[in-house]
Amino acid sequence: MLGRVTAHDFNRAIVADVAHRPWPMPDGPWIMRQTWHNLLFAHWPIDAAVLRAHVPDEFALDLFDGAAWLGIVPFSMTNVAPRAVPSLPGLSEFPELNVRTYVRVGDKPGVYFFSLDAASAVAVQAARALLNLPYHTAAMGLTRQDGRIGYDSRRKDSGASLTASYRPTAEPFEPAPHSLEYFLTERYCLYNRDHRGRPYRLDIHHPPWSLQSAEAEFTQNTMADANGLSLPDTPPLLHFARRQDMVLWMPAAL
């Protein structure tokens, strides 16, 4: 038994908010919704030549002032469900943790994921089967106290882990076009290869990001190492986002 169906607070009006998009939304209907909560964007500049060896050749690295960037992004999700399906207890809410960089194909910049950890085994299996995304099941926990988020994740198959606490430190702002903050967050697709090795783009849509400067303490962080990468010995660039509603489409072959 999944338990009773609960009402969700997904903001469907976002699909009419399109003026900020860098390209038009796909012609077909979106197929899934998600709401992201309490995101920490932790970013480090990385040597582009190092990252190049870890990204499929079909995807050009997207650089900002000549630098590539690696992002580690912990958050939690609600409202995870197909378009016509209500949110379901035990299936539609769970934490997630992404390790990512930035790529482009033609004039469409997007995200490339090195790994995605989630506390939902069902979501992990579905994303691996349908999209060939590098998802892993993890034991994950979140706490909230005095405006601070405590986050703990340990991957079940390898022990790759993140233990951190973070909070916003300034008022919200919308990233200005062409700024580094815009470059790191305003992304409207992801790129990957399918099970046959064919590249694809998966379009998403969300409102403009509302970001806040942030502070974070990392007690444990082996997420880059688990992907064969090393973080530089420099403090990360940190941003916090309270909430983001989004929808996504079926992947399109390139």
Q: How far apart are CA 175 and CA 215, in angstroms?
A: 18
Do residues 47 and 245 lie in contact, with contact meaning Cβ atoms separated by under 8 Å? no
CATH topology of domain 38-253: Acetoacetate decarboxylase-like (2.40.400)
Residue 5 has pLDDT above 50, yes or no: no
pTM (2 decimals)? Answer: 0.95
Q: Is the pLDDT of residue 2 over 60?
A: no
Q: Residues 199-240: pLDDT tens digits?
A: 999 999 999 999 999 999 999 999 999 999 999 999 999 999
First to last CA, the chain: 40
The chain-wide mean pLDDT, for the chain, equals 95
Which of 95, 111, 100, 69 has its CA nearest to residue 237?
69
Q: Which two tokens stand for residue 99?
A: 């390790």
The predicted-structure confidence for 23-66, as pLDDT tens digits, reads as follows 999 999 999 999 999 999 999 999 999 999 999 999 999 999 99
Judged against a pLDDT cut of 70, whether residue 3 lies above it is answered with no
Kindly tell me if the per-residue pLDDT of 7 is higher than 50. no
Would the pLDDT of 6 be above 50? no
Domain ranges of the chain: 38-253
Q: Quick one: pLDDT at residue 87?
A: 83
CA atoms within 13 A on the CB side of 67: 12
pLDDT tens per residue across span 162-201: 999 999 999 999 999 999 999 999 999 999 999 999 999 9
